[in-house]
Each structure stands twice: as C-alpha cells, then as structure tokens.
Structure 1
Amino acid sequence: MTKPQRTVLITGASSGIGKATAQRLLLQGWKVIAAARNTEAMNDLRELGAEVLTLDITDIQSRQAVVTHIHQQFGALDALVNNAGFGDVGPIETMPIQSAENLFQVNVFGLIALTQLVLPEMRKRGKGTVINLSSIAGRFVTPGAGWYGASKFALEALSDALRLELHQFGINVVVIEPGLIATRFETLTRKSMAEAQKDPAWAPMMRKVEENWQEGFKRASPADVVAATIQKALDARTPKARYLCGHRAESAVIQRLLPTNLWDGILRWQIT
C-alpha cells in the first residue's frame, strides 16, 4: 500500500537553501509548493513538478492568497518550511532603525504571520511540521551583525513557544541553525557593509568583519547540506527541537561552553 503524497510549502524557494530543499523533497516524492517573489527563478522547480506561487512574505494579501490557494487545492499542509529571510549588517549605533524594522518584517513578523494562517488546518488534522530557518546567529551575535542576530534570536524564542503550545495538537516545530552556507549571503549584504564603512569611527571594525566573512565563506557548506538536514527533520518520527549544520556550526556549541569574557575576547581578537 503506497503512502499518500506529503505536501510542503517552502518559502524563499527561488534560490539557495529554499531551492535546494525544494529539489531534494521533489526527488523524495513530496508535493512541493515553492513560493517566492521571483517566480521566473523557480521555472526549474516547476519543470520538476513543483507548484510555483508568488509570495511577498511581508504583504498580508500575498500571504492570504497563497494559503487560501493551498487549502483549496491541497487541504492542510503536512509541512511548512519558513526559509524566506534576508540580512543587513552594521554597528548598532549607525544602522538605521528602518533597516532593522525591515529585517524583523521579513525574518520575524512576516514569517510568523504566514505560520498563523496555516496552523488552524494543521490543528484540525492533528499533525504537521513547522520548520523555521534560523542561524548560528540565533545562538550568538558578532560585531556588526547585532540586528540580524536579534531577528534570529526572536525567531528562536517564538519557535520555542510554538513548540510547547502546538505539541498538544500533534504539530512539531523545528529550528534549523545553519553555519556559513554558500547562499551569496556575503554578496547580498555588500551594500549595507559598504554603508557601514562610511563612518570613520566604525570603518576599521567593519573592514575586519568583511575580511573575516570573506575568509569564512571560502569554506562555506553547500545549500544541500541544510536541505538534507531539513529532510532528516521531516522524516523523523520525533524530530529534535534544533539541528545545527554547515561550516562553523560547531561554534554555537563552543560558545555555550566558554565563559562569556573568554568568548568575547576571541571575537574582539578576530574582528575589532
């Protein structure tokens, strides 16, 4: 007797981790709904059998349209992979609050608002999995990445609350914490990095931050490492609350073991 096809919505599926996850799950027989703002970048996923939808995670009408379509066509989702997100960098003192608000709109508020829309049908069904893409930046922050880290810390806290709240309804909540992954993150933050270096007080530090990132991303893990971890969590009968994966992910474990003053000294030596 064949198992019924499982259905998953993956946000931010036009590139990087989202696309790699969609490709992997399609090959595993999932019905994949791939959502992102740039649908042309998902034509390859459509050819593999994915349902491709336009989604602006920050727009209430866009979120509602996607979820309404999914429930009408497929019913309750078996899984939601909240992958859409972005990063900006800069010292806390100089990074515009508007930039910080934009980070939270995508990485926290839009993500949770979408999750709120899919949960009622999962609850009625009595099962489902929500996977939230955090980062090792959700465990500790580094100079120049405070606001990005804050958005991931917030996601970690909300995921913990969701996991506790939804357990009674048979819904799993899992946090994935990648290290350095080859998703062009360092390229996508280049504009904010350049802006942060305009201030003479902070330029030396931010130049060291950029150098450290460039060196680290030379050994970044491929996006499929994260996709494989997501698949592992989805296939587990009882998934773990958190999964670390990728280059430098072990630093999240080391940070927990070291005294704060010692950890701070290591970071200051590297970056400031």
Structure 2
Amino acid sequence: MAARTALVTGASTGIGFDTALALQAAGFTVYAGARRVDKMEPLKQHGITVLSLDVTSEESMASAVALIEAAHGPIDVLVNNAGYGSYGSLEEVPLAEGRRQFEVNVMGLARMSQLVIPGMRRAGSGRIINITSIGGKIYEPLGAWYHGTKFAVEGMSDSLRLELKPHGIDVVIIEPSGTASEWGGIAGEGLLMASGSGPYRQQAHVVAAALASTSGTGHVLSTPAGVVARTITRAATAKRPRTRYPVGRGAWGVLALRRILPDRAFDAVFWNLYRRLAG
C-alpha cells in the first residue's frame, strides 16, 4: 500500500517543522511548505520534500497542490499551520496590516482547503487539520487582529466539518497554548513597533514581555513544539479524530476558566496573569 501523503504549511520553524518530522516518522510521504525554504533544508535529510509556499499567492498555493496531486493523487492530510501574530492597538495598527493578518491566517487557510477538497471528495476520504490556538477561545489586550483571525478559523472549521462529513472528509482543530518557538518574541516585537511608544505603551510593554516569556523554552507555560506536533500526528492518524485538541501547558486550565468565569472576572484574572508573566 502506498504511503499516505501530507502537506504541512508554515513548516520552516516551530510547530510546522516538527509536525513534518512527526508525520514522516508515522509513515506519511510529507511535503513541507513555507516561504523561507532555506530554513527547511534539514527536513530533506529525513526524506521530506520541501516546497516554496506562500499562502498569500494563488500561483504558489495552486502549483504546490498540483505538484503533489500529480505525483501521488489526492492529498490525504492537509495541515494548515501557516500564520503569524499581528499585535498592537486597533487604533494604531494600519488597516493594511489588519487585512494582511486575515489574508495569511484565514484566507490562506481557506484557499489551501479549497484546493485540496476536490481531490479528497473524489477519493471519499481526507483530513484537514487547522492550527488555531487557545487564542481562538480567549482574548488579549492589543490582540484584536490576531484573535479575530483565530476566532474566525474556529467558526470556519466547525462549519466546514459539517459540510464535508458526508464526503468522508474530517476537519480537526488544534488549539495550542504558548510554544517554545520564535513566535512569541516576533509577535512582541511587532507589538512594540505598533504601540510601544503611544497612548497604549504601558499595556504594550506588559503584553510584549508576557508573549516573549511564554514562548521561551524555560517558562512554565512554554510547551515544546514537538508536543504539539505529536498531537497533530495523533489527529492525522486516529480512526475517528476528535473535533478539537487543546494542547500545551496551561491550555486546559485557561479554557476551563474562560468557560466558568464571567467576562469581567476573566478580564481581571487574565490581565493579572500577564502582569506576573511580564515580571
């Protein structure tokens, strides 16, 4: 039997990089896509094919899917991992940056799904795994654009799960907490550029420090990317996957608090947590 094929977007670092390795170890023929192809060179040593993939480019996305389908037929698993966090006050972040945040985190994910669904539907099987975040259920000050995209992906995924079920295609949501990667540091730097010296500077410095602290390897709330990758692999290989997988240190606790606490109580608890994380 031929190995099943998997395409992982945003595979140059962190969760995407480790997921490509985990899926390959699980027996998949893996294609790893990202804009920074040089960062994926080590994946080649494990038999993973790397692709230049920009989820804001129609030509890039369409050619990547066409290449894989020409070689293997319908893609069995799509891991929509590409994304970034755009932070800053809604007042100060330019609308062009807000649109780019949605273009990468939502529209790119949607278009990649559109491209693989016809083949999956003809095959009567397939799995689309969307990487959101606990940020699709909770919120942060100065994170309106980022959390807006993650809330959107949660709703889109739930609707997609229902419409694709009759065609044998599963849709799964992965909800990581902070991971040991460069993501938090980059998001914090962007936040300070947007709002670090204006009327929101006090909040900005607290949130930026908290973001950076939870993405480092030594923090109590920092989860190795490999842990998330193993969860994604379980979702890809399970006979009947769960609809969503919260994963990472603190993920279940934070989501439980969100369900239990009234909004204003959660506001206070979460802001005090960020002040502690920021030191």
- How many residues are matched? 270
Equivalents in 2 of 1:56, 1:214: separation in Å? 26
Would you say the 8 A contact 1:143–1:271 is kept in 2?
Answer: no
Matched, 1:237 2:239: yes
Paired position in structure 1 for 2:145: 147
Displacement of 1:248 in angstroms is 2.3
Paired position in structure 2 for 1:98: 96
Displacement of 1:25 in angstroms is 1.3
Aligned-partner SS, 2:251: coil
Equivalents in 1 of 2:147, 2:264: separation in Å? 19
Query: Cα gap change, 1:42/1:214 in structure 2, threshold over 3 Å: closer, same or farther?
Result: closer
Aligned-partner SS, 2:8: strand
Displacement of 1:268 in angstroms is 3.8
Paired position in structure 1 for 2:35: 37
**Structure 1 residue corresponding to 2:205, chosen from 204, 207, 213:** 207
Displacement of 1:30 in angstroms is 0.9
Displacement of 1:125 in angstroms is 0.3
Equivalents in 2 of 1:98, 1:199: separation in Å? 20
Would you say the 8 A contact 1:205–1:271 is kept in 2?
Answer: no
Would you say the 8 A contact 1:196–1:203 is kept in 2?
Answer: no
RMSD: 1.5
State the identity %.
38
Equivalents in 1 of 2:136, 2:201: separation in Å? 25
**Structure 1 residue corresponding to 2:154, chosen from 156, 161, 185:** 156
Paired position in structure 2 for 1:64: 62
Structure 2 length as normaliser, TM-score? Answer: 0.93
Would you say the 8 A contact 1:12–1:18 is kept in 2?
Answer: yes
Q: Return 5+ residue gaps in structure 2 as ranges.
A: none
Query: Cα gap change, 1:198/1:262 in structure 2, threshold over 3 Å: closer, same or farther?
Result: closer
Structure 1 length as normaliser, TM-score? Answer: 0.95
> Pairwise mapping of residues 98-137 of structure 1 onto structure 2 (< 5 A)?
98-137=96-135
Paired position in structure 2 for 1:225: 227
Displacement of 1:46 in angstroms is 1.4
Query: Cα gap change, 1:38/1:211 in structure 2, threshold over 3 Å: closer, same or farther?
Result: closer
Matched, 1:11 2:31: no
Would you say the 8 A contact 1:127–1:171 is kept in 2?
Answer: yes
Query: Cα gap change, 1:51/1:271 in structure 2, threshold over 3 Å: closer, same or farther?
Result: closer
Q: Name whichever of 15-24 and 194-203 sits farther off.
A: 194-203
- Cα deviations across residues 22-73 of structure 1 (Å, max 9, x unaligned)? 1111112110011111222212111211121111110001111111111111
Query: Cα gap change, 1:159/1:31 in structure 2, threshold over 3 Å: closer, same or farther?
Result: same
